[in-house]
Structure 1
């Protein structure tokens, strides 16, 4: 008696056989995959372009802002430079105003003294001394100081000018005699003091 035949699965197909219907399904799936990939790529590209556009817009705004700030800074610098030039010009023009104002009373006193011709010698002396006090006061207000080294003071080349060097009993490099006072204004030398300087003990 022969063995019963097993029912054949109608869904199982020979793998070596590829029907036209299966080909169409495979092609459709591949086409769908390609379309999805293409759509995804286009979306990524669109997002990237949008990001670049945003960055470009922000960069342009910053450039415009920096340009405006640069123009403002340039204008402010120009204003500062112009004001500085005006201040220097005013300082040159009116820098001596305070000192000149201080000297006016001194001139008034001198003119008044000369106008009185019948004064005694003592009165003249008192008038000259009063005028000198006025002049000293004007010097002090304008930071004008005299340089008058005493005998034996150390010679200072910054404010003294040696006319000659002479032997003396004073130590070498000290002032022997003051010939003319010097003056400084605000620590700046207007005129050095003229002095004679000791060269040391005279030779025996």
Structure 2
């Protein structure tokens, strides 16, 4: 009779070992599942982090570009508003006669100094004058045709008169030069 107890005892041990093994395997499976979930979460967080870094870099670049544009072109409205001041001062200086220069030399010198200062401020802020000359080719990127006329001795598209100078603010057109353009001369 001792043997059946040993057999039962051995069966109980085998059952206990099998159950312990099953529980251990289940625990390992649970841990493996948890590890897979943690890896997936890590990968998702890494992806979000990399996207956030890329977004931050893009925002930095965009703000740098916006800042540069604001520095270069933020005053374009004021610059455009100053162009008639330049035009009027230039016309005033061009109409001064020699007699007026002799009689009012201090006043005229003041006007010329003011014009030089205005040009200096333009240059300081990146405003350049577009000054085409008669005979130059018409460039629609920088010139505005005010009229066309056939002029003997010219080719179609040649500038025949300059009505007003144009202006660039860095690489942007503030105002095109206003010109008269030759059309095909009549034969």
1:171 aligns with 2:155: yes
- Work out the CA distance in 2 between the residues paired with 1:165 and 1:137: 34
Give the deviation of 1:152 after TM superposition. Answer: 1.1
Alignment map for 1:82-121 (pairs within 5 Å): 84=63, 91=70, 95-96=74-75, 120-121=103-104
User: In 1, Cα distance between the equivalents of 2:135 and 2:16?
Assistant: 105
- How far off is 1:185 after superposition? 0.4
Q: Distance in 1 between matches of 2:28 and 2:36?
A: 12
Kindly indicate whether residue 116 of structure 2 is the aligned counterpart of residue 133 of structure 1.
yes
Tell me the distance in 2 between the aligned counterparts of 1:42 and 1:56: 21
1:199 to 156, 165, 183: 183
Q: CA deviation at 1:151?
A: 0.9
| 1:165 CA displacement | 1.2
Q: 2:34 aligns with which of 50, 56, 61?
A: 56
Cα gap change, 1:45 to 1:125, in 2 (>3 Å)? same
Q: What whole-Å deviation, never above 9, does each CA across 1:58-104 have from its counterpart, x for those lacking one? A: 7348737929x75xx49x95xx69xx5xx87xx59xx44xx89xx9x
With over 3 angstroms needed to count, the CA separation of the structure-2 counterparts of 1:37 and 1:152, relative to structure 1, is: farther
Is 1:160 aligned with 2:143? yes
* TM-align CA RMSD: 4.2
What are the residue-to-residue correspondences of 1:177-192 with 2, within 5 Å?
177-192=161-176
Which structure has more RCO (C-alpha within 8 Å, separation ≥ 6)? 2
**Residue 49 of structure 2 corresponds to residue 66 of structure 1:** no
TM score, norm. by length of structure 2: 0.58
Gaps (5+ residues) in structure 1? 1-23, 104-109, 111-118
1:46 and 2:24 correspond? yes
Structure 1 stretches of 4+ moved >4 Å: 31-35
- The TM-score with structure 1 as length reference comes to 0.54
- Higher CA-based Rg: 1
Which one has the bigger helix percentage?
Answer: 2
